């Protein structure tokens, strides 16, 4: 809105202009996706080759699917959805509630708050770029654990430590950890599914779980923040510390899942 005001747009039309810009951006993305989809379609000349390749790989795919189904741990998906709820809660706290926390207890103005959000978004994008190398080095399960621990440490520490630059550093650790935890959780959901249909269903349920968490966590967080502001001991920290405790408690779950998958793999190897 400030940009449109600088360009001379009347104040009453700045907000509609923002929505129009977002709509144009969405249309551009949809058009780009449609173009990529059209380019990726197989030409008629290659249809015969594709069909032959599909027929030759059918048996291999069936055997691979059977092995994956035997490897699946039944409690993997509920466990990963639980992690998503906790990490999604920290996202609500870091974006919405922090907008109340920082001006009140850190003395942030709108400019500082916006700069913090922008820096955190840039850091999350950079984290996604290095994520494949991280997974290649330590694995998806350990990456998920590291991300969850970073979220818990960052979001709990930022509410308790109110001295700069340590406070902002902990906030950035929280957001970078959330990027790692979200991506690795989705990767674990995909790898813990026995078939393509199960993978699609589980990823859809993961997204639905994350969306459902965003329905009640803002209300819960705002109420906890309101109650915490009346306290004389670290006022305003209650929702952040509570979410941090849940994240730290959930951090070992990916390792539990990995151990269960190894037991399943050893069982399959003995049967063969």
- Computed over every residue of the chain, the mean pLDDT equals 80
Determine the Cα–Cα distance for residues 259 and 73; give it in Å rounded to an integer: 10
**In the predicted model, what is the mean pLDDT of residues 190-213?**
84
The shares of helix, strand and coil residues in the chain, as percent rounded to the nearest 5, are 85, 0, 15
What's the pLDDT tens digit per position in 111-166? 898 899 999 999 999 988 888 888 888 888 999 999 999 999 999 999 999 998 99
Residues 6+ apart with CB under 8 A from 100: 225, 236
pTM (2 decimals)?
0.73
What's the pLDDT tens digit per position in 161-192? 999 899 999 999 999 999 999 989 988 888 88
Output the pLDDT for position 18: 59
* CB neighbour class for 54 (10 Å; exposed up to 12, middle 13-18, buried from 19): exposed
| Residue 61 in this model has a pLDDT that exceeds 50 | no
Q: Own/partner pairs for 166-173, CB < 8 Å, 24+ apart?
A: 167/106, 168/116, 171/94, 171/98, 171/116, 171/120, 172/119, 172/120, 172/123
Supply the DSSP string of 22-37, one letter for each residue: HHHHHHHHHHHHHHHH
| Residue given tokens 């399943």 in the structure block | 264
Is residue 264 within 8 Å of residue 71, measured between CB atoms? Answer: yes
């Amino acid at each position: 809105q400030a940009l449109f005001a600088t360009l001379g747009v009347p104040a009453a039309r700045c907000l509609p202009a923002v929505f129009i810009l977002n709509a144009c951006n969405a249309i551009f993305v949809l058009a780009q996706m449609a173009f990529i989809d059209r380019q990726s379609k197989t030409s008629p000349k290659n249809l015969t080759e594709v069909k032959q390749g599909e027929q030759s790989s059918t048996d291999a795919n069936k055997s691979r699917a059977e092995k994956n189904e035997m490897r699946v741990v039944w409690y993997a998906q509920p466990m990963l959805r639980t992690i998503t709820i906790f990490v999604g809660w920290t996202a609500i706290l870091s974006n919405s509630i922090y907008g109340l926390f920082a001006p009140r207890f850190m003395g942030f103005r709108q400019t500082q708050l916006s700069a913090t959000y922008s820096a955190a978004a840039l850091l999350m994008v950079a984290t996604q770029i290095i994520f494949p190398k991280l997974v290649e080095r330590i694995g998806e399960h350990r990456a998920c654990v590291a991300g969850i621990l970073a979220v818990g440490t960052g979001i709990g520490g930022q509410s308790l430590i109110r001295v700069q630059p340590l406070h902002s550093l902990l906030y950035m650790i929280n957001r970078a950890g959330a990027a790692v935890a979200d991506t690795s959780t989705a990767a674990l959901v995909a790898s813990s599914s026995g078939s393509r249909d199960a993978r699609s269903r589980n990823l859809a349920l993961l997204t639905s779980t994350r969306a459902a968490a965003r329905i009640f966590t803002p209300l819960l967080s705002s109420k906890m923040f309101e109650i915490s502001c009346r306290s004389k001991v670290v006022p305003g920290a209650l929702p952040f510390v509570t979410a941090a405790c849940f994240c730290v408690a959930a951090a070992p779950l990916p390792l539990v899942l990995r151990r269960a998958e190894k037991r399943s793999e050893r069982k399959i190897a003995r049967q063969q």
